[in-house]
Amino acid sequence: MNADYKKLRQSLESGKYAPVYLIDGEEPYYLDDLTTFFEEKILTPAERDFNLMVLYGKDATWADVVNACRRFPMFAQRQVVILKDASLLKDFNELAGYLENPSPTTVFLIENRFKKADGRSKVVKLAKEKGFYFTSDKIKDELVPQWVQTYGTEIGFHIGERESELLATSLGSDLQRIANEIEKVRINVPDEKALTTDLIQKYIGISREYNIFEFPEALTKNEMDKFYRMLAYFTANPKSAPMPLVIGSFYNHFNRLYQANFLRNKAEKDIAAALGTYPGKVREIMAQSQRWPLQRVEYCIMLLGKYSTMAVGIKSNADGSELLKEMIGKMIA
């Protein structure tokens, strides 16, 4: 989870509110969550009737916003003013005059959705000085599986590596969509403590047949019919398997095989801890490491390093599907 977001959220939940907050960026998940907190958590339901004001940049003027912030709360200790879509507000920089001396009884949220505010502006500088400034950056595709697992930990619902890869591959980097789909499963099976591939298939509708997490396993298990079916599907549907995710999946797998070569005399539980997996998976990994000699594993890891740079356009203009076929061809050869 975003560390800055976590820090800001903890500050809000402590009830110690700053006079001004500026949130911006391209990832709407965190912006929506924070805005909802301002709308629903700071004031009681009775206080909201008179002390919650939501303005929109395309409709309001800077004077409307300042006048709302300068109002005194009614029958409450504080009021909340939210400016949504602040990037559409004409004369946005005129808000600096208010931020220089903000009202102590107003909690003012400026939401600058889908873009970053100009860091050189006085508004941004004053927001940092007087309160909080948070940017919600778009998450990189290869980091989505890790985000999914962390999100599961946060909500008390275990999501394993295999399941997080499956969600990331199928749902992309839309964090709100991923969170909604996970919540759908929890609503249907409230007593379950962990997300399984069967639950994903049943309640989210994602098939595990074409899962990039199992793609490298099919190769090293010598399940070549399955492997070639997956390769054909991924090359025909490149959006279902972006090269960074494929490379990450292969790297994690081959890295485990590499480590397994040096763990043969260890106890199963110690191997599982070293490889970051569960004991039931150890025998499978050790068997695959026997079939794939250390020299071949090292060669594949070297290939992954080479193609990870080519996938971002360094020394290559080929698309993801062509790079994938080329890389796999060299692994098999």
Asked if residue 138 has pLDDT above 70, the reply is yes
pLDDT in tens, 145-187: 889 999 999 999 999 887 887 888 778 788 999 999 999 999 9
Asked if residue 213 has pLDDT above 80, the reply is no
At residue 207 the predicted structure's pLDDT band, cuts being 50, 70 and 90, is low
The CA distance from 185 to 89, in Å, is: 40
In this prediction, residue 139 carries a pLDDT of 87
Please report the domains of the chain, with CATH numbers, ordered by start residue: 14-136 (3.40.50.300), 139-208 (1.10.8.60), 209-333 (1.20.272.10)
Asked if residue 269 has pLDDT above 90, the reply is no
* Range in 18-32, 94-108, 226-240, 301-315 with the lowest mean pLDDT: 226-240
pLDDT in tens, 113-134: 888 888 888 999 999 999 999 9
User: Residues 323-329: what's their mean pLDDT?
Assistant: 93
In this prediction, residue 278 carries a pLDDT of 66
CA 111 to chain centre: 20
> In 10 A of CB 219, how many CB atoms?
24
In this prediction, residue 333 carries a pLDDT of 80
Q: Taking Cα atoms as reference points, which of 216, 307, 302 lies closest to residue 256?
A: 216
3-class SS of residue 55: strand
Asked if residue 52 has pLDDT above 70, the reply is yes
User: Residues 33-55: what's their mean pLDDT?
Assistant: 96
- Identity of the residue numbered 153: T
At residue 1 the predicted structure's pLDDT band, cuts being 50, 70 and 90, is low
In this prediction, residue 82 carries a pLDDT of 98
Q: Residue 66 contacts by C-beta under 8 Å, 6 or more apart in sequence?
A: 94, 95, 97, 98
In this prediction, residue 20 carries a pLDDT of 97
pLDDT in tens, 89-118: 999 999 999 999 999 999 999 999 888 888
In this prediction, residue 104 carries a pLDDT of 95
Copy the structure tokens of residue 278: 């569960």
Instruction: Evaluate whether 320 touches 238 at the Cβ level (below 8 Å).
Output: yes
At residue 46 the predicted structure's pLDDT band, cuts being 50, 70 and 90, is very high
At residue 208 the predicted structure's pLDDT band, cuts being 50, 70 and 90, is low
> In 10 A of CB 329, how many CB atoms?
10
Percent of the chain's residues with pLDDT above 70: 98
pLDDT in tens, 220-241: 999 999 899 889 988 888 877 7
Arithmetic mean of pLDDT over the chain = 90
Burial 14-28 (b: 16+ CB within 10 A, else e): eeebebbbbbbbebb
Copy the structure tokens of residue 196: 């399984």
Q: Which residue has the higher pLDDT, 259 or 212?
A: 259
Using CB atoms within 10 A of its CB, is residue 288 exposed (0-12), middle (13-18) or buried (19+)? buried
pLDDT in tens, 57-90: 999 999 999 999 999 999 999 999 999 999 899 9
Long-range pairs, 116-119, Cβ under 8 A, ≥24: 116/24, 116/25, 116/26, 117/22, 117/24, 117/86, 117/87
Q: 132-136 and 20-25: which strand pairing?
A: parallel
3-class SS of residue 208: coil
